Amino acid sequence: MRRITLLGSTGSIGDSTLDVIGRHPERFSVYALAAHRNWRKLAEQCERFRPQLAVVGSPDAAEALRAHLRAAGLPTEVSWGPAALDEVAAADGCDTVVAAIVGAAGLSSALAAARAGKRILLANKEALVMSGALFIATVQRSGAVLLPLDSEHNAIFQCLPEGRADGRGVERLILTASGGPFRTRALETLADVTPDEACAHPNWSMGRKISVDSATMMNKGLEVIEAHWLFGLPRERIDVLLHPQSVIHSMVSYSDGSVLAQLGNPDMRTPIAHALAYPDRVGAGVAPLDLAAVAQLNFERADLARFPCLRLAFEALSAGGSASTVLNAANEVAVQAFLEGRLRFTAIAEVVESTMARARIVELAGLDDVLASDHEARRLANEALAAGALQAG
């Protein structure tokens, strides 16, 4: 039986992961759950899955959760803060860590799991975007096993022999993207996009930050960077193809002319179930794909003029060093400002581009370098926001 630590249990990936785990109590048990603010939902999860440990983001949330669990008669131990998160990710009681904390906040705990040699199911793409070389080197040194949870990377993993691209005749990786809610919207109207419109993804149910990233295609750009580190191919051999139906989740092109694709309904429980049970297969609760009902599959090349964030991600990958760290930090600042109504939609890319132009691009020797670069980029992005020229309205 696999003993699972789930970091980010109250988000959409956490919900889907617990749904799959709950379908197979004979195969999976929950060792620890971690969330940031939503202690009430975490308490409900603890009552159902009875983990040994629970971690929250603040002492107030910890005290409230502890009191609730005590009243419910549950022995779950409660701790709080980043150090506790790192400790639970590396704890001896679990063999598998699902890293599903969104953004830079999930980097340290994912690295802790890697150092401890865990089986890591990675949904936090920022761990590789911010510190790809460092993260992969840590995995290799410790003997950790890295399995991707993003639907696109999981699809590529399934299309590769033993999940590896090296020496396998692989020509190209082809990441598919729905194009989000604004694939065909008139360009001159994009400045008026509201947060609710940006979060209304046509195919996937996701959190608000990742939904905005999907609308700008920054999410796909981050996935290109992630694919480079996961599978070891250069930027020139990683393509993005728009596929509005979100049925083909990604493809691998081989030197003999073959193209292998992984297909399925757009439901994150499929890649989660694959990674949880790998190399076995288990039911995910997802309806079988009915290709006759889908009827047709369409593809388009990505328009970098419509999606400048995708262009910026390609540029960051080509630049190397801390460029991807800067890209990610500036984007987090800009998306938060947009969601709070302080920045227009089209200015998200402008903030990121301005920050990338001003930030120092350096080599990253360790976590301290990553965090310093992230800090500088956030300062520069906030300076761009404070200038006022990019604000909403």
For residues 127 and 122, what is the distance between their CA atoms, to the nearest angstrom? 8
The pLDDT score that the predictor gives to residue 208 is 85
Cite the annotated binding site for 1-deoxy-D-xylulose 5-phosphate by residue number: 125, 151-152, 178, 201, 214, 219-220, 223
pLDDT in tens, 232-245: 999 999 999 999 99
pLDDT in tens, 131-170: 999 999 999 999 999 999 999 999 999 999 877 787 789 9
Percent of residues, the chain, with pLDDT higher than 70: 97
- Beta strands 300-301; 238-242: pairing state: antiparallel
How large is the angle between the packed helices 107-115 and 367-386, nearest 10 degrees? 170
Cite the annotated binding site by residue number: 10-13, 37-38, 124-126, 150-152, 178, 201, 207, 214, 219-220, 223
For residues 321 and 270, what is the distance between their CA atoms, to the nearest angstrom? 34
pTM value > 0.85: yes
Distances (CA, A) of 295 to 241, 242, 245, 260, 292: 19, 17, 10, 20, 5
Average pLDDT over residues 261-280: 96
pLDDT tier, 68 (very low <50, low <70, confident <90, very high otherwise): very high
Helix (H, G, I), strand (E, B) or coil at 114: helix
pLDDT in tens, 370-390: 999 999 999 999 999 998 645
For residues 312 and 317, what is the distance between their CA atoms, to the nearest angstrom? 9
Cite the annotated binding site for NADPH by residue number: 10-13, 37-38, 124, 126, 207
Percent of residues, the chain, with pLDDT higher than 90: 82
Torsion (CA) 186, 191, 196, 199 in degrees, nearest 10: 70
* Nearest one of 178, 245, 167 to 210, comparing CA atoms: 178
For residues 256 and 171, what is the distance between their CA atoms, to the nearest angstrom? 9
Check residue 216 and report its DSSP letter.
Answer: H
- Per the CB < 8 A criterion, the answer to whether 108 and 134 are in contact is no
pLDDT tier, 105 (very low <50, low <70, confident <90, very high otherwise): confident
Domains of the chain: 2-148 (3.40.50.720)
pLDDT in tens, 176-230: 998 888 888 888 888 889 888 888 866 666 678 888 998 999 999 999 999 999 9
Structure tokens at 323: 């460029």
The pLDDT score that the predictor gives to residue 203 is 65
For residues 104 and 327, what is the distance between their CA atoms, to the nearest angstrom? 12
Cite the annotated binding site for Mn(2+) by residue number: 150, 152, 223
